[in-house]
Every structure is written in structure tokens, then in C-alpha cells.
Structure 1
Amino acid sequence: MKIEHNHEHHEKATGNLLFVFILNIVFNVIVIFGGLITNSVAILADCLHDLSDTISIGLAWVLEHISQKNPNKNYTYGYQRFSILGAVITSIFVIIVSVIVISESITRLLNPVAPDAGWMLLVAIVGLIFKGISVFKLHNGETINEKAILFHLLGDVFGWIAILIISVILMFCEVSFLDPLVSLTISMWLLYNMGKTLHESVCVLLQKSPKNIDVCEIESQIENLNHIDKIIDIHLWSLDGIDSVLTLKIKIDDVNNGVNVKKEIYNIASKYHIVDTNVEFM
């Protein structure tokens, strides 16, 4: 049985990512000038983060848009995995940028430079507004693609909060090392979370069974149905981290009961976001 794929979550994701993409283009220009004016390594580091934000969000938007295309002869399951591809590319890109920022932060820790605290405060306030709106737009996202971008933006929000606090402290105390220290901390946090997102995305691409579905539980429910002697083979994987596919080879006591057995299996599968269920009787 094939259930028509539900593209609603991908359509919503595309709209959200486009909005955030435009917002980040505008903010990216602001941060570049802010970093040059303040001489703050935390803001300069965020320039790289924001540049990667813009590129990642743009790419995520394109791939999320492609993921809505209907199945054809070349992509018989449709294009939903393009959303996962976006999450993988975004995660790798952000991890690379984070490593670069960590390296720069360590260098600045060894040779601290006093930033312009007043301008830092102003840029931090603007940063919190822009990034806060972006996070709010994506915080209910269902796709892994959206979640990858959300973690990136959350890192920026924490960064701007820290920069705001540091800018106030620097107005009264000479503690230049706090600037690169915060940048280092945020980059490490981002590296950890994007690593988890990358792992989750790769697991989907490698057709690992969905983490939110217990294969043994489904198997047990099916085995308890009438007329089923044995499940010979079962395969379960996810198309995009949301919708899943199930294939089964089953031995039944009488092929004449096959129609009813299939209906019962389809009912079980429909409870788990399984959009395509294929049953073969042996």
C-alpha cells in the first residue's frame, strides 16, 4: 500500500527558510561592518558564522524546495531525501567554520585585543533582534534540515547574548580575554550540536531504522494478528527523518486471508508515519 506523501511539513519548511534567508542576508551586511568597526574577535567570528548561516540557509531552502517534487521514473520515492542532503551539507559546512573560529579564538586568547565596547553593545542588540526572529520562525520546524539551521541560529543567539554581556563588562573592566573566550565556548557548543545533527542525517541516508519507531514493537503487533505464522523478513527506514517505509515478507496459514491481513498491517503502519507499506506473502 502506498499512501500519498504528505508535503505539508516541507512546504512550511521552505517558506520558513526563505524568510530566514532574506533576513540573514540583511544582517550579514550589518555584522561585517560591525566587526570591522568594533575590532571584536567575537563579532568577527560571528561574521563567519553569519556568512555560513546565509549560505547554509540558502542551500537548505533550495534543497527543501526540491524535496517537494513528485516522484518520477528517476526518483520513484520522490525527492524528500534532498531535505536530508541539505541537513548533511549544512552540518559539514558549519562544523568546518566552527573549527576555523576555534582556531582564531585560541590565537586571540594568547594575544588579546581590546574591542570597542560601545559599538559591541549596539551590534549585539541588533544581532539579538535579527537572530531572535529567525529562531522563532524555525523553532517548530519538523524537518532535520530546519533543525540543522535552527541549531546554527541558536548558537548565534547565545553568542550575541554573551557579546552583549561582555560589552557591558568591558565598559567598566579591562578583560579583553573574555571576548575570544566566549567565541571559543560558543563554537565548541555549535560543533557538538552540529555533530549530532550530522550523525542523525547520515543515519537516515544509510537507511537506519527511525529512532522514534520501535521495530520490535511493530513486529510484535503484526505477529499477534490472526492467520500470521511467521515474519520472515522486515525492513524499515525513513525517507527524510519524518516519513518512513516498511517492507515485509510474511508466512500466513491461508493465502485467502491475505486481503484482511494486509488491511490490518496497513492500519498498524499508519500509526507510525509509515507512508509506504509493502507486504509479500510466502
Structure 2
Amino acid sequence: MRIDTHHHHKKAGENLAFVFFMNLAFNIIVIAGGLATNSMAILADCIHDMSDTISIALAWFLERISQRDSSDNYSYGYQRFSILGAVIISVFVIIMAFVILSEAIPRLFAPEGVDAGGMLVVAIVGLIFKSISVWRLHDGETFNEKAILFHQLGDVFEWVAILILSIVLMFWDGAPYLDPFVSIGIALWLIFNLGRNLYKAVQVLLQKTPDNFDVDEFRSSILSIDGINEIDDFHIWSLDGIDSVMTLKVSIDDLKNQSKIKEEIYSISNRYHVVDITIEFD
């Protein structure tokens, strides 16, 4: 049995399109603000904000592909393109976070003066743009959306930190080292969270049993169905971190009861976002 369900990927595509155009517009502001203020925190954000836009565009593109129906070449459909996007984006952002670290750490030992007033203006604008993007993505289900959400959350934290930093620098000229310190903190936060997202996405690609699937509970539920004696060759894996595929062989008392037993297995499986089930009887 195959259940066609692309609603979460369609919604994800719409969310990512919205966030993409928000980031594209903001790129211009960040680049101009970073050059005008000479702030390492903002200049670092110039680098990873451009990576934001590229990664979101890629995520949007792959999310649109994931909505396609199955074909002869991709018999299970294209949903795994969403996971592929999450892996690529996570790796890309982690690399960019290390680039930020390489730029910010030397500044700790050789801090430079910044335009605190200009930083404050850019930070306020950045906080508005990024907060809107986070709001749009906060209830996303796909790994693609989660990867971009963590990145956007990192931006929100960074702009809050830059906002506070700019106010401090207005009244304390002796604290320019705080500027690169903020960049280092945000880069480490990105590496940690995107690293976790990457780990989970790779688990899906390696066909690990879905986290929301209790194997013992499922077996017990199936064996409690009247007429089933045993379960053999049971396999389950996730297509995209949300929808799963299952195959199993069941031993039954009477082959005449196949239809009734199938319906009961389908009913139990639906609790776990299983969209494709292959059942063999013996």
C-alpha cells in the first residue's frame, strides 16, 4: 500500500521561498553595513549571510524536487532529495562557521575600532529580518527546514549580541575585543547545532529505524491481531525523516483472513507516519 503525502514538503517549499527572498534583500544591507562600520561581527555575518542565501536557494530547489511523484527511476519518489539538501546545507554552514572562527580569533589579539552607532542600526534591521524568518520556519517538519531554522536562529542570537555589543561600545571604548568574541560564540553555536542536524540526516540516509518508531511496541501490536502467529523479515526505514517505508512477513492461521489482517496492520502502521507497506503472508 502506498499513501501519497507531500503536504509537508509543499509547505516546506513555500516557507523556504519566503525565507530566501527575505535573506536576499537583507544581503545588501549586511554588506553595506559591514563595510561602513568595520565591525568584525558584521563582516563575519556578511560571509555567512551570503552562504545563508545560497543554502536556502539550494534547500528550496531540492524541496521542490522532493514533491515529485514516483517514477521508474525513483520508484519510492523524490522525498530523499529533502534529506540530501539538509546534509549539503549543514556541511556548508559548518564550513562557513569555521571560516568565521578563522577570521575572528586573530581579532581577539589585535582588536580594531568599530562604528558602534552604525552597528546598532544594522543590528536592529537584522533582528527584524531574521526574526520574521524564524517565525516562518518555527513549525517546519522537514530536516531541510530545521537546518535553515538553526541557521536563522543563530543569526537572531548574533544580532541580539551585536545590538547589545554596539550599545556597550558606545559607552566603553576599551572593549573592542568583544566584537570578535561575539562572532566566535555564534560560530560555535552553529557548529554544534548544525552538527546534530547533520548527524540525524545521515542516520536517515543510512536507513536507521526512525526515532519515533518503537519496534517492541509495534511488534506487540501486530502479534495481538487475531490470526497472526509470527513476524519475520521486518524492516522499516525513513524516506525523509518524517514518512517511513515498511516491509514485513507475517505467519497467519488462515490465508482467507488476509484482507482483514492487512487492514489492521495498516491501521497500526499509520500511527508511525508509514506511507508505504509491503506485507507478505505465509
Q: Which amino acid aligns with 2:261?
A: V
Distance 1:6 1:258 in 2: 26
- Residue in 2 aligned with 1:264? 264
Distance 1:107 1:21 in 2: 32
Within a 5 Å distance, the mapping from 1:104-119 to structure 2 comes to 104-119=103-118
1:101/1:187 contact within 8 Å kept: yes
Distance 1:171 1:191 in 2: 30
Q: Which amino acid aligns with 1:57?
A: I
Q: Which amino acid aligns with 1:208?
A: K
Q: Secondary structure at the match of 1:175?
A: coil
2:269 is the alignment partner of 1:275: no
Distance 1:241 1:123 in 2: 37
- Residue in 1 aligned with 2:129? 130
Distance 2:270 2:116 in 1: 57
Q: Secondary structure at the match of 2:272?
A: coil
Q: Which moved more, 1:251-260 or 1:12-21?
A: 251-260
- Residue in 2 aligned with 1:180? 180
Distance 1:53 1:217 in 2: 41
Q: CA deviation at 1:254?
A: 2.3
Q: Which amino acid aligns with 2:26?
A: F
Distance 2:84 2:238 in 1: 13
- Residue in 2 aligned with 1:69? 68
Within a 5 Å distance, the mapping from 1:1-282 to structure 2 comes to 1-3=1-3, 5-173=4-172, 174-282=174-282
Q: Which amino acid aligns with 1:98?
A: A
Q: Secondary structure at the match of 1:271?
A: helix
Q: Secondary structure at the match of 1:171?
A: helix
The ranges of structure 1 where at least 4 consecutive aligned residues each deviate by more than 3 angstroms after the TM superposition are: none
Q: Secondary structure at the match of 2:161?
A: helix
Deviations 1:19-38 (A, max 9, x none): 11111111011101111111
Q: CA deviation at 1:226?
A: 1.4
List runs of 5+ in structure 2 lacking aligned partners: none
Distance 1:256 1:65 in 2: 43
Distance 1:253 1:33 in 2: 74
Q: How many aligned positions are there? A: 281
1:41/1:180 contact within 8 Å kept: yes
Q: Which moved more, 1:106-115 or 1:86-95?
A: 106-115
Percent identity over paired residues: 61
Distance 1:86 1:205 in 2: 12
Deviations 1:186-244 (A, max 9, x none): 11011000000001111111111110111221111101111111111211111111111
1:49/1:156 contact within 8 Å kept: no
Distance 2:170 2:8 in 1: 46
Q: Secondary structure at the match of 1:250?
A: strand
Q: CA deviation at 1:2?
A: 1.7
TM-score normalised over the length of structure 2: 0.98
Distance 2:47 2:214 in 1: 40
Q: CA deviation at 1:152?
A: 0.3
Q: Which moved more, 1:256-265 or 1:237-246?
A: 256-265
